[in-house]
């Protein structure tokens, strides 16, 4: 019994001596549950300003010179380090789909009013909305001018992987610029988060600018009612003038701008629209040939592009004639009887050429004269003995008037 007790005591003493001499602890084999929550400080990884040249997979290193959030590296394979923080993927951005709507309520649940919203149609093309109202930390209302179909996506500007933001992200940092060689750019400036663009304005009433909301276009067109040749520069060729606008069935075009027609105001074109003469006199149409007066004819201008062709009364006499069947009464010796003939155009003072019946009774003489306007008077007298009763006969009165 004494021998056994001595052995136990010896082993205990040796164990105590060994325990008192140990200065390093192997946490892998000697520790069961490690809790550093009460420790004054902990530094579980290596710290330095340069990544070690060699490492074993699983090693960690804190680069104290790197920007905050991009300090921690892990050894992913032998002697290969990889950054373990910064730019994390984060959750998917919250999205709200809609169909044929003008008002869309977007419940993003990002817990912030600092959000960015973009909307897209079914072909993933950006849609510009009319207004965006942030109604709280978790929702916003988007309105469109016309019904739209697509989706709206929200992104919180707080960053750090919170509800749709990428790890360390801070929202959009955008700008815009005008590209191209010629023309005037529409982009003005970026004011805060607002991209400011110039408006398109018509410089005069000759241009019309309208908003085509259906086709999502800005339409620029010419206002024909406000155009006039006097306000345009350059020159027109004959082929640029519509046939309906040309004088004389398309053969001529009047070149003056109104008022009294002056000489050499018109140009003449052939059927193909080529100028065959210019600076010529204007006419109302036809062949365009000049009208000249021959003997007994006179041409008189009466209005612009209009002339009158008539008889030259200075050289051509006027011929008037009329007949009537007359029954004179019985005429005694040395007596006379009178009858009248209506002759339109006859005037007092006109000379009358008498046309007597071929069987006028013997002993009768007569005369004719214009007794009043349009009236010729005929007088028969008996110059021989006895009386006579003239038979009813046809008498003619003719006036030949020179001017």
pLDDT tens-digit series, residues 9-22: 444 444 544 555 56
Say what the pLDDT of residue 240 is: 67
SS3 of 319, please?
strand
pLDDT at 366: 93
Q: How far is it, in rounded angstroms, from Cα 328 to Cα 196?
A: 112
Residue 227 pLDDT grade (very low, low, confident, very high; cuts 50, 70, 90): confident
More confident residue, 258 or 385: 385
246 has pLDDT over 60: no
Contact 123, 171 (CB under 8 A): no
Q: Sign of dihedral through CA atoms 13, 18, 21, 25? A: negative
Q: When comparing pLDDT for 214 and 88, which is higher?
A: 214
User: Residue 142: its pLDDT value, please?
Assistant: 94
- How is the chain split among helix, strand and coil, in percent rounded to 5? 10, 40, 50
Confidence of residue 243 (pLDDT cuts 50, 70, 90): low
Question: What percent of the chain stands above pLDDT 90?
Answer: 26
- Look at residue 292 in the predicted model and tell me its pLDDT: 80
For residues 173 and 293, give the distance between their C-alpha atoms in angstroms, rounded to a whole number. Answer: 89
Q: Tell me what the mean pLDDT of segment 49-59 comes to.
A: 88
In sequence order, the β-bridge partners of residue 331 are 388
Burial class for 201, CB neighbours closer than 10 Å (0-12, 13-18, 19+) = exposed
The DSSP 8-state label assigned to residue 240 in this structure reads G
Phi first, then psi, for residue 27 (nearest 5°) are -65, -30
Rounded Cα gap, residues 207 and 107, in angstroms? 44
Residue range 267-284: average pLDDT?
Answer: 64
pLDDT band, very low/low/confident/very high, at 8 (cuts 50, 70, 90): very low
Structure confidence by residue, pLDDT tens digits, 118-135 = 999 988 888 899 999 999
- The closest of 369, 299, 383 to 341, measured between CA atoms, is 369
Beta strand extents in 256-305 (DSSP E only): 266-269, 275-280, 297-303
Closest CA to 398 of 330, 321, 342, 343: 321
Q: Which residue has the higher pLDDT, 134 or 234?
A: 134
**What's the pLDDT at 322?**
94
Per residue in 288-340, pLDDT (tens digit) is: 567 787 877 888 887 766 788 888 777 777 889 999 999 999 999 999 999 99
Q: Which residue has the higher pLDDT, 361 or 31?
A: 361
Q: Give the mean model confidence (pLDDT) for residues 158-162.
A: 42
Q: How far is CA 232 from CA 216, 229, 235, 279, 401, in A?
A: 32, 5, 9, 22, 60
117: three-class secondary structure by DSSP: strand
The whole-number average pLDDT for the span 341-363 is 91
* Separation of first and last alpha carbons in the chain: 188
Q: pLDDT at position 331, please?
A: 92
Task: Determine which helix (DSSP H) or strand (DSSP E) holds 5, and give its type and residue range.
Answer: helix 2-21
β-pairing, 207-212 vs 217-222, is antiparallel
At 171, is the pLDDT very low, low, confident or very high (cuts 50, 70, 90)? very low
Q: Bigger pLDDT: 271 or 121? A: 121
The rounded distance, in Å, linking the Cα atoms of 189 and 277 is 58
Tell me how many helices (H) and strands (E) the chain has: 2, 24
Pairing label, strands 393-401, 353-355: antiparallel
- Tell me which range, 3-7, 82-86, 252-256, 257-261, is most confidently predicted by mean pLDDT: 82-86
pLDDT band at 249 (very low <50, low <70, confident <90, very high): very low
Is 229 in a helix, a strand, or coil?
helix
Q: Which residue has the tokens 């021959």?
A: 294
Tokens for 316? 């051509």
Sole residue written with tokens 């790197």:
66
- Which of 133-137, 224-228, 374-378 comes out lowest in average pLDDT? 224-228
The confidence score (pLDDT) of residue 192 equals 65
Look over the chain and give the mean of its residue pLDDT values, rounded to a whole number.
77
């Amino acid at each position: 019994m004494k021998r056994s007790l001595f052995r136990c005591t010896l082993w205990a003493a040796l164990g105590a001596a060994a325990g008192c001499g140990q200065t390093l602890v192997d946490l892998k084999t000697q520790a069961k549950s490690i809790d550093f929550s009460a420790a004054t400080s902990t530094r579980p990884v290596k710290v330095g300003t340069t990544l070690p040249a060699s490492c074993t997979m699983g090693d960690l290193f804190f680069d104290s010179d790197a920007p905050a959030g991009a300090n921690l590296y892990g050894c992913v394979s032998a002697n290969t380090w990889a950054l373990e923080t910064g730019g994390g993927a984060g959750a998917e951005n919250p999205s709200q789909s809609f169909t044929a709507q003008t008002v869309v309520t977007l419940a993003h649940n990002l817990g912030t009013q600092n959000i960015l919203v973009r909307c897209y149609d079914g072909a993933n093309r950006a849609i510009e909305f009319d207004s965006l109202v942030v109604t709280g930390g978790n929702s916003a209302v988007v309105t469109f001018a016309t019904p739209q179909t697509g989706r709206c996506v929200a992104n919180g500007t707080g960053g750090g992987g919170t509800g749709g933001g990428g790890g360390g992200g801070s929202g959009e940092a955008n700008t815009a610029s005008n590209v191209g060689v010629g023309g005037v750019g529409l982009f003005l400036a970026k004011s805060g988060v607002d991209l400011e663009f110039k408006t398109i304005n018509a410089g005069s009433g000759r241009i019309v600018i309208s908003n085509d909301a259906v086709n999502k276009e800005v339409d620029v067109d010419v206002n024909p009612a406000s155009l006039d040749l006097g306000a345009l520069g350059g020159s027109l060729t004959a082929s640029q003038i519509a046939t309906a606008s040309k004088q004389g069935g398309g053969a001529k075009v009047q070149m003056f701008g109104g008022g009294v027609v002056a000489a050499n105001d018109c140009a003449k074109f052939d059927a193909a629209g080529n100028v065959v003469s210019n600076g010529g006199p204007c006419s109302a149409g036809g062949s365009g040939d000049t009208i000249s007066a021959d003997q007994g004819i006179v041409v008189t201008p009466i209005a612009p592009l209009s002339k009158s062709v008539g008889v030259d009364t200075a050289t051509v006499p006027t011929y008037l004639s009329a007949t009537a069947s007359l029954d004179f009464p019985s005429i005694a010796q040395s007596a006379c009887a009178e009858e009248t003939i209506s002759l339109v155009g006859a005037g007092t003072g006109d000379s009358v050429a008498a046309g007597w019946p071929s069987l006028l009774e013997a002993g009768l003489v007569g005369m004719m004269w214009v007794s009043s306007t349009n009236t010729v008077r005929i007088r028969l007298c008996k110059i021989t003995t006895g009386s006579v009763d003239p038979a009813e006969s046809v008498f003619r009165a003719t006036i030949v008037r020179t001017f």
